[in-house]
Amino acid sequence: MDRPLVAVVLAGGVGSRLYPASRRHRPKQLLALGGEGTLLERTVARADFADEVVVSTRPAFADAVREAVPEASVLVEPAGKDTGPALAYATHRIAERFDDPVVLALPSDHHVEGEFEPTAQRGARVAARTGSLVTFGVDPDRPDTGYGYVEPGPDRGAYAEVAAFHEKPDAETARRYVEAGYYWNAGIFAWTPAAFREAAGAADAPLSPLIDALDRGDPEAGFAAVDPVSVDYAVFERATDVAVVPLDIAWDDLGSWDALRRILPADGDGTVVAGDASVRAVDATNNVVAGDDVHVSLVGVDDLAVVAYDDRILVVPTAAAQRVRELVAELDAEGEF
């Protein structure tokens, strides 16, 4: 592709369900869970085929991001308002700096294994050639109820048209989606600034006040004028011309502690260990332990996550790992997150 390809890595979130590893001052993308180097470092390295990698983050994380990935340029969002405003701002700034670029957007806090570049390049070419908004779809290996799904429409060879996006389903619906060949929506996208602008700036779209303000050169006012909103809701679900490119990699959003079971090997007791924790299990099976420099003994317990970072300890059944959200909401309300 002769147009410049600019990767935008989104690193403004916190990932609260991985508390207490993730905290307000130490977001999920700065953790080294499930591999060598932090998730952010691995994401930036994964995008190194792009002509430039831009990391978009909130002011509080900017220094940590600069330190973690000095090879990337850092774009500081005027305010943390979810992925919609962040990507509108990044796309606008990239269009100013590059000549006719294609934008590749990717989350910084997912676990990915396999060859990313070929499919990413293909998606970028589809975005450039067709003017479609492109989403990358992961082939599901289970009827996960924690992800959104992409329903493919007519197959166009390098891509399929998107027939519809579907929110996180219940178990029965998820099974149906998997059987029907739907994809997981991995949160990885490609577009041209023109295509993005057209969809995001439509008169009734949530981001249109921001798009207008960016045109006027007043991003602060633009961020003030919009509510936090995901790019999925604010742009993709409203766009008429969306393509899906299958992404043939092992992918996990590492959203909560039970996910470690999927990406790390278990020992004979079914124990999965992340970080520098050492574990002794006495009649204890299928537990997840995470922590640094900690020695955890489990006696007669099953299917628990035991997590220890700093002076914080969390114990939760892996089946209830999503409920850490409720905990963090309480902690956050009291300034303890």
Stretch that binds a second copy, among 63-71, 217-225, 247-255, 314-322 (CB under 8 A): 314-322
Residue 34 or 317: the one with the smaller Cβ distance to a second copy is 317
Is residue 280 within the footprint of a second copy (CB under 8 A)?
Answer: yes
Is residue 282 within the footprint of a second copy (CB under 8 A)?
Answer: yes
Least distance to a second copy, CB of residue 144, Å: 20
Whole-angstrom Cα distance, residue 74 to residue 109? 16
Is residue 324 within the footprint of a second copy (CB under 8 A)?
Answer: yes
Is residue 31 within the footprint of a second copy (CB under 8 A)?
Answer: no
What part of residues 74-103 is at the interface with a second copy (CB under 8 A)? none
Tokens of 155: 């197959």
Least distance to a second copy, CB of residue 260, Å: 16
Among 11, 19, 187, 229, binds a second copy (CB under 8 A): 19
Least distance to a second copy, CB of residue 22, Å: 13
For residue 290, report the phi and psi dihedrals to the nearest 5 degrees. -140, 140
Least distance to a second copy, CB of residue 20, Å: 7
Residue 74 or 314: the one with the smaller Cβ distance to a second copy is 314
Is residue 304 within the footprint of a second copy (CB under 8 A)?
Answer: yes
What part of residues 170-229 is at the interface with a second copy (CB under 8 A)? none
Q: Give the total of residues touching a second copy (CB under 8 A).
A: 33
Is residue 272 within the footprint of a second copy (CB under 8 A)?
Answer: no
Is residue 330 within the footprint of a second copy (CB under 8 A)?
Answer: yes
Is residue 333 within the footprint of a second copy (CB under 8 A)?
Answer: no
Do the beta carbons of residue 17 and residue 109 sit within 8 Å?
no
Contacts of 53 (CB under 8 A, 6+ apart): 6, 7, 9, 44, 47, 69, 71, 72, 73
Stretch that binds a second copy, among 150-158, 185-193, 259-267, 303-311 (CB under 8 A): 303-311
Say what angle helices 83-97 and 208-216 make with each other, to 10 degrees. Answer: 30
Stretch that binds a second copy, among 80-88, 142-150, 159-167, 294-302 (CB under 8 A): 294-302
Is residue 273 within the footprint of a second copy (CB under 8 A)?
Answer: no
Do the beta carbons of residue 191 and residue 102 sit within 8 Å?
yes
Q: Which long-range contacts (CB under 8 A, 24 or more apart) does 33-37 make?
A: 33/111, 33/254, 33/260, 33/274, 33/275, 33/290, 34/111, 34/254, 34/260, 34/263, 34/264, 34/274, 35/111
Query: Do strands 304-309 and 295-299 pair parallel, antiparallel, or not at all (unpaired)?
Result: unpaired
Least distance to a second copy, CB of residue 252, Å: 21
For residue 239, report the phi and psi dihedrals to the nearest 5 degrees. -75, 150
User: Minimal CA–CA distance to 283: which of 267, 299, 272, 268?
Assistant: 299
Tokens of 206: 């949530």
Do the beta carbons of residue 305 and residue 261 sit within 8 Å?
no
Which residues in this chain contact a second copy in the complex, by CB under 8 A?
19-20, 280, 282-283, 291, 293-301, 304, 306, 308, 311-317, 320, 323-324, 326-327, 330-331, 336
